[in-house]
Amino acid sequence: MKRKVIKQGHNTLTITIPSKWAKRFNLSAGDEIDLFERENGLFISTEKRNEFLKTELNMSGLDIPTIWKYFMAIYREGYDEIIMKFNPNSKWDSPYKFFIHHKLDQKYGKDSLKKNPVEFLQELVNRFIGYEIINYGKDFVTIKEMSEPTSREFDNALRRIFLLLQQMAEEICESLDSKDTKTLSHIHDIDTNIDKFHDYCIRILNKIGNKDSKKSSIFFSILFFLELIGDEFKNISHHLLYDFQKGDYNHIKDVTESIKQQFDLFYEIFYKFDDNKIIKMSELDKSRYFNVENVYKKVKKDEEKEIFHHIRIITRYINALTELRIEMEF
């Protein structure tokens, strides 16, 4: 659409906002909007949203993994309210029971007592930032978002993901160095928090987008790889803690430390891009690649080979993240 530029005073030029757009986002006099310059364009955006998203999900006939899939999809898409319908006479296992892949996860599903639907849903909802049960009846529960997410909360949640991943890497390196894996017993708690913040970031992107809409798709990919790195760190922790307690990890200590160094560098360049640090990351990657080839030939124990497998996967993810970060500069 075209708008006329209106002169007000000596140095001020104004344009009017389309009334349809103002109504859609519930804007009124005195509200703040954001303006972004991009090449020869000026873009207007607002974090206000007038549309209220509401949906209903019937749990009857669904197993627990399927309920998770539907609930996560609704949450990530930015719905404000969910009405969960259920059979009032049904009994449920813990919502975490079917996600116990490792002994690290067992405390999340050790409760063998069956739950009524409200108890089940309360445990489920606790996993999702911002959601609360506000009402319930004989055969339903109403879940609603209690606070409107903002771009600042997105920034805080994303940085928290980075810090939690750094914590995981640090503790794994320390356990390899000291050969004391007991400190890794709480790694699942860290990974669960990463998943919570990951889903929250996805929710915010879907609800209000990013200040630079061009970069929204990049952020989706970055969040995806960060969450996968957390899973791989958890896999390594599980092997160290339960599967290979008497393993000799001398061959992989240096390789694991280089992964930590590379991720720390990525964290730095993500928030402050630096060509020299990009080059340093590449040098670390090349030196580790050739080192892994040489060291892997010396490895005879399956436990070390298994750790190498997870390290290689993390390396691929960090390289993918680096490419995405470079793309953000253009």
Q: What is the mean pLDDT of residues 230-252?
A: 83
Biggest distance spanned by C-alpha atoms of the chain: 80
The pTM assigned to this predicted structure is: 0.84
Please give the mean pLDDT across all residues of the chain: 87
Pick from 320, 305, 308: nearest CA to 263? 320
Q: What domains are defined for the chain?
A: 6-45 (2.10.260), 54-145 (3.30.110.20), 151-327 (1.20.58.220)
The pLDDT, as a whole number, for residue 3 is 80
Query: Are 210 and 221 within 8 A, CB to CB?
Result: no
Q: What is the mean pLDDT of residues 106-123?
A: 78
Q: For residue range 284-294, what is the model confidence (pLDDT) as tens digits? A: 888 876 666 66
What is the C-alpha to C-alpha distance for residues 89 and 111, in angstroms, rounded to an integer?
20
Q: For residue range 140-173, what is the model confidence (pLDDT) as tens digits? A: 999 999 988 898 999 999 999 999 999 999 999 9
Given a cut of 60, whether residue 103 has pLDDT beyond it is no
Q: For residue range 164-179, what is the model confidence (pLDDT) as tens digits? A: 999 999 999 999 888 8
Residues 6+ apart with CB under 8 A from 268: 274, 277
Q: Return the higher-pLDDT residue of 240 and 297.
A: 240
DSSP letter for each residue of 11-65: TEEE-PPPHHHHHHTT--TT---EEEEETTEEEEE-S------EEEEE-TT--HH
Q: Return the higher-pLDDT residue of 52 and 213.
A: 52
Q: Pairing state of beta strands 54-58 and 81-85?
A: parallel
Long-range CB contact pairs, 296-300, < 8 A, 24+: 298/251, 299/251, 299/252
The pLDDT, as a whole number, for residue 10 is 75
Q: What is the mean pLDDT of residues 33-48?
A: 68
Select the highest-mean-pLDDT range: 19-23, 227-231, 248-252, 304-308. 227-231
